[in-house]
Every structure is written in structure tokens, then in C-alpha cells.
A = this chain, B = another copy of it.
Amino acid sequence: MTSGTPISSGRVTLPVEKGMEKEVLELASKWGIDAVRDSDGTEMSEEIMKMGFEVYSTLCLIREDNEWAKANRDCLQQIYLMSDCCTAVSDVLEINPIEHYYSEQFELDTFHDPKKWWEVIDRTTGEVVDPEHWSFDREKKVVIIRKAKKWHRYTVSFLAYQIWEPVSMYNHKTNNWQTEHRLPVDPRHPKARAHLLETLDRWLQEHPNTSIVRFTTFFYNFDLIYDNEGKERQVDWFGYLSCVSPYAIEQFEKEYGYRLRPEDFVDMGYYNTPFRNPTKKYLDWMDFNQRFIAELAAECVERVHRAGKKAVMFLGDHWAGTEPYGKYFNRIGLDAVVGAAGDGVTTRMITDIPVKATEVRFYPYFFPDIFCDGGDPVGELLKVWLKSRRALLRKPADRMGYGGYLSLAWRFPDFIERVAQICQEFRDIHTMSRGTKPYSASFKVAVLNTWGKIRSWMTHQIAHSLWNQKCYSYLGVFEALAGLPFEVEFISFNDIKESGIPKETGVIISVGDAGTSWSGGEYWSDVKIQTTIREWVANGGGFIGVGEPTAFEYNGSFFQLADILGVQKETGFTMSHNKPKVVPEKKHFIIDDVKGNIDHGEGIDSIYKYSDNLKVLNIQNNSIALSANNFVKGRAVYLAGLPYNIENARLLMRAIYWAASKESEMFDWYCDNSNTECAVYPEAGRFVVINNTLEPQRTSVIRYGEKIIELDLQPMGYKWLEI
């Protein structure tokens, strides 16, 4: 399975438990571990701490001192929530704002005057109800709207205190803990900030054996909101809801010269999810918080450094506003970022972060859901490694590790053995590539959406690595890209408006549903955007649209760049127009490796031929699912959807080279068996060929169009070779 490189050690972090001392030592040689960490609910023994490993310790400052939090409830984190949308069946309407929220997570903030801080909105008209016309009944804890308009619908946007820190709540409920609920404090309050820094200093003193402080994370958790039954109601991994407080709003007003309304946070109930094109106000709010968080996090990191330890941030949990791809992230001064990865996209999300070092915590966690009778931990392990390996060959992580309970994993010897091989394969990437960059095509691929860089590898995600309808058919594009030989940049519409299309770009990719930020929505009505891209493609650029690219109903067109894409979508208004009958091409560079049917996932329907010279490459449900078009000197590819599989990754690679008009360049380095790929490190004088399947594969490596070697690979196997 491995290519026989010498056994080495290092770069691996192990979750340990008291009582597993012998096993830890065994894994030190088997897995080559050089660092140990604690987990939620485990203790590390003195013995392990003294084995000479680096010791990671977890620290979450905002929930660290529960006694202080209980004594300073005015410093608890807050949130803006929107009540149910209630229909007025008479002219008096009572709304219990918090009715469908979890009473153990949230408590109405009645300290700050509801008349000032809350908002009642007529959602039928969109108008704010004059506070004269409603009151808050402090006993019944309901808002009473008088003179409500019958059959209109109303909501109350209200402030609440967070009375259970959401991540510990999640762990608590998932693992049936009986411990005290931990409260989250908001360090924007000066006294909370001061206490938090004191807590950190004390903690550093109390942890002399800790070499690495792993912040999980800093201050504000992503949006994780439970319902009245204590179940997950909303989750937005990128949300900033927890940053809110009257204090923050007042500070914001001083800095920005205007006041944020409750509606700016609840956003008609859409809560500014990243699927929406953000408002200017929301972008200001993000920026305001990012600056504060970077400044305070930097203060924490500095104290860690002063204590002679390293500071690592966990990508996830209380990472709101840290924005690893944002403008202020480098101010924090971290030594590394560690994050969990279940696929290539989340791997790249971590490894591409501009930071000194990255560490990937691979799924599966050693948890009883998978490490149980009937569970298939090896299957889960291989699934993740197959996807992550491709990404690591493009951009390696400095370290790897696992999470959970070692005692559980230890019961699965096959798993232990297979991880040993993976650890070695992981180290080999470093050894053999000598830390040099992999070969990439001569042009860059730019992913274009409303967010651009700040959401690098974060598009179409709700929470971490979860499968979602309306997402997986698009995420596949990024999963494929994570391991393809292209340098990938995430750019925004505003980037294009301000600076045009980056010079080295060969292909622009737009992926998503109409109206979402990923597709772009109304940006496509922008003249500058349209003409800049049109001119760029006309001059030889490549444009790949997936799903509903350039979609915005405007001026008689749904796909605004239908002339470039060569396809248009029927939304009902051109039902009277006969659509050209189309017959898919049998042969085309893009589909030359396709065997059988292409999986377009959920797909998109009603796509028809718009340009005379369009080549249709696949049809699904009477709708064009894959096509290629020429536009002046440039080219465009349309794809209805592209869930990840290895055939689709090959298809995307071909589509990119074709769109860039650089088909022959693909054969500079190429494996003729599409189940295999190669990653090439010219500066190290080596390349590796990987088998992306669970079956043996024979493949030939092509160099400048000529076969240079044929080789057999074991299932999931790899071979490092000299150039």
C-alpha cells in the first residue's frame, strides 16, 4: 500500500487518556506521534505528560470561569433573535418572542428597554410598527400589539442573553452530561475583558507542562441555536450573531456614525446567512467585530508567547470574526491553526490559511457512534483519507492528528494498523516533496462569488463537512478543485469592479443557485461586471458556470451572460419560443474520459441552447447538463451540477483546460487512467502517482504528451518516483 519509503516519525498528534500509557508508547513508534492532547471529558496523566511529547491543552476562555460569569450576568453574551411570524386574527396580537427557542439556552433581555432595543415588524407590509402600538408585558413575557392589522403577519425581533454556551451545550446534550451549564461571557465589556486576560494568565501559570495552548477558539461561537424542544434549530458556521450587545451597537454607532437596527441582525429571519448577498451594514458589522477580535486575540497570543508556549487556534467553535482569510487575521500572531477535515475542501480550508503552520484533525473522531459493534471505522478512515490526500498533495498540512477517545480506537486493531500507514504516507509527502510547491497549470483558476477571498473553500457550507441538499451538487466542484493541479483563488464581484480580473487568471468558475451569494444575484445586473467579464472572455478567457451562473432576471435575460455560456434557462417567459433540438456530441475533449453516465446531482432543469455554435455534451431531463461554447476568442462551459466523484474530478480538470484553451498543456503531466492522479514537485525532482479507488489500478504517466512510465497501484496505493 505504501511505496516503501523508510519509516519515519513526527507530525502526528494523538488524543490521550489516563490509563492508556502503554498504548501511547506503542503508538509513539507505530504512528510516530510527537504530540499529545486532551479531549473534552478526558484527563491526561502526569506520566504521559512526561513522556517527552509536545502537550496540547485546550482552552476556551469565555466559558472558563463559570463562577465569575454567574456573578456578572450583565457580561453574558447576547443575541438578536426573531420570533415566529404570527398572523393577527384579531386587532390584538400577543407574541411570545422566545416561544420556539430553547429556554435553557436563551433568556429574554428585559434589562435593556424592549421599546428601545426590540422591533415589531409587520411582515405583510415590511413596515416597522410604532412602539406606541405595542407593549411588553413583563409578567406574561409577551409582546402585545394593539391595533394590529387583521390578517397581517407580525414578528418581534428581540435581544436575549445566552445562558448556555452553545458548544458545551452541544457536548453536554450529545454525551448526556450532568454537569453545570457553562455561561459565555462577552469580552467586549471592559470588566469581562480584564477578567478573561487574568484567567488566561492564571491558566498559563497552572499549566507548566502544556507546550501548546489550543484556543477553541477565541470569543464568539458561530450561530448555533436550539429550539424549544432542545434540538438544533439553526446553525450557521459563519454567523456573527453572538457578537451582538447593546454595548457593541453603541460602540459601532460611535465608529460608523449610524446605528444598527434589530432588523440588520435578524434580516427578515434569514440572519445574514452567507448564502445571501450581504448588505453594506452587515459588512460593516463584520469588519467592526473582526478588528476587535483580532486585537484581543493578539493580546491573548502575546501572553501565551510570554509564557513560553505556542498558541494554536481551532478552526471552528468560537471562531466567529477570526476570519482566517480576512484582513485582520495575521494581526493575531498565531503559531498554527488546527481544524477538523472530512474531505478535500475542509482540508484546503485549513491548509490554505496564511499562517505559520496548519494541522488537520482527520475524521472519524474516536467516538462511540462509529467505534462500536457494527461500525466501520476503517471504511470511514479511508473515505476521508482518499479525499484529503488529494488536497494535501496540493497544499500539505504541517501536522495531522485525530480526536476523541483512544481507548475506543484501541479496540479496532485494523484501524490502528491502517492509521499507521496513513501517518507514514502523510510524512512522506513532506519528505519526498521537500516542502516544495507542486506543479500547477500555467494559469490560475478564479472562483467568483459575492464573498471572494474571505470565504475561500467555505462556499455552500452550512456547518462542517455535512451533506446538504442544494449544496452537494455544487460542493463537488470544490472537492474536485481541492486536488486538481491548479492554483485556485477566490475572488469577489467587488474585486472585479475595483481591480478587474487578476492577471494570471485563465478560468473563472461561478457555482450556485440563482439569487444566492454563490451565484451572485443582482451583481449580474452590474454593467461593469458584465462588460469586464465579457471583454476578458472575448480576449481568450475561460468561463465555467455551474448550476445557475450569471442568473438574474433582468432586461429580458435570466442568465445575463447567456451569450458567453451559450445556454439560457427557461423560467416561463419564453415558453412561446421553440427551443433548438439538440443532440449531444459523441466526442469532445471535455468528455473524453467519461464512461457511462455523468452524475450531475440534483441538477438544474430547463436549460436550452442559446448560441448557434454551442456544443452540447450531455442532456438530462430534457435539459442541457453539460455544454461547451466559444465566445470570440474565449470559451465557456456549462455544467448543471457536479457532485464529487473521481470521474467528475477528471471531467472538471478537462473542462478547465479546455475553457482556458490549453488542452495540450493537460498532457504535460497526466495519468491516462482517470482513477489515478499525479502530483509533481519539480524542485524536489519527484512526483507521486495515487490511486483514488479501492481497487488496484494500472496507469500510465504522460509527460509532454508521451508515456514515460506504466505502473500498477494497489487499492488506494501511491508511488513516489523520480522525475
Residues in A lying within 8 Å of B, measured CB to CB = 85, 87, 89, 123-126, 149-153, 223, 231-236, 239, 267-271, 273, 275-276, 462, 468-471, 513, 515-516, 527, 530-532, 534-535, 538, 553-557, 563, 570-578, 602, 605-606, 621-622, 632
A85-B563, A124-B527 known; A578 and B275 CB under 8 Å? Answer: no
How far apart sit A591 and B578, CA to CA, in the bound complex (Å)?
A: 38
Please determine whether A233 and B124 come into contact, CB atoms closer than 8 angstroms: no
A579, closest chain B residue (CB): B469
- The answer, among B151, B553, B556, B575, for a CB contact under 8 Å with A471, is B575
Q: Note all chain B residues with C-beta closer than 8 A to A232.
A: 578
Residues of B within 8 A of A577 (CB): 233-234
Q: How distant is the Cα of A527 from the Cα of B153 in the complex, in angstroms? A: 11
Q: Is the CB of A606 within 8 A of B535?
A: no
Q: A277 to chain B: closest CB distance in Å?
A: 10
Asked whether A469 lies within 8 Å of B606 as measured between CB atoms, the reply is yes
Residues from chain B with a CB closer than 8 A to the CB of A234 are 576-578
A553 touches B268 (CB 8 A): no
Q: How far is the CA of A642 from the CA of B271 in the complex (A)?
A: 35
* Interface pair A563/B527, CB less than 8 Å apart: no
Please, which residue of chain B has its CB at the minimum distance from the CB of A223? B576
A531 touches B572 (CB 8 A): no
**Which residues from B are CB-within-8-Å of A530?**
124, 151
User: Closest CB-CB distance, A114 to chain B, in whole Å?
Assistant: 21
Q: Are B270 and A534 in contact (CB under 8 A)?
A: no
CA of A606 to CA of B270, assembled, Å: 16
Note all chain B residues with C-beta closer than 8 A to A275: 572-573, 575-576
Which of B150, B538, B563 touches A153 (beta carbons < 8 Å)?
B563
A-B contact pairs, 30 of them (CB 8 A): A89-B632, A123-B555, A123-B556, A123-B557, A124-B531, A125-B527, A149-B531, A151-B534, A151-B535, A231-B578, A234-B578, A235-B576, A239-B576, A268-B555, A268-B556, A268-B557, A271-B576, A273-B573, A275-B572, A275-B576, A462-B575, A462-B576, A468-B575, A469-B606, A470-B606, A513-B571, A515-B571, A515-B573, A602-B605, A602-B621
B150 touches A575 (CB 8 A): no
**What residue of chain B has the Cβ atom nearest to residue A149's Cβ?**
B531
A516 in contact with B270 (CB, 8 Å): no
- Contacting residue for A576 out of B273, B515, B578, B606, CB 8 A: B273
A316, B606: Cα distance in complex, Å:
28
A242 to B125, CA, bound (A): 41
Bound: A531/B556 CA distance, A:
32
User: 9 tightest A-B contacts by CB?
Assistant: A268-B556, A151-B531, A236-B576, A151-B534, A516-B572, A270-B573, A275-B572, A269-B556, A273-B576
A269-B556, A531-B150 are known contacts. Are A470 and B572 too (CB-CB below 8 A)? yes
A152's contact among B273, B527, B538, by CB below 8 Å, is which? B527
Whether A622 pairs with B469 at a CB distance below 8 angstroms is: yes
Nearest CB of chain B from residue A543's CB, rounded to whole Å: 14
Contacts of A85 in B (CB 8 A): 556-557, 563
Question: Which residues of B are found within 8 Å of A239, using beta-carbon distances?
Answer: 576
Q: B residues within 8 A CB of A513?
A: 571-572
Name A270's contact: one of B236, B270, B276, B556 (CB within 8 Å).
Answer: B556
Give A391 Cβ to nearest chain B Cβ, in Å. Answer: 24
Chain B residues, CB < 8 A from A469: 570, 605-606, 622
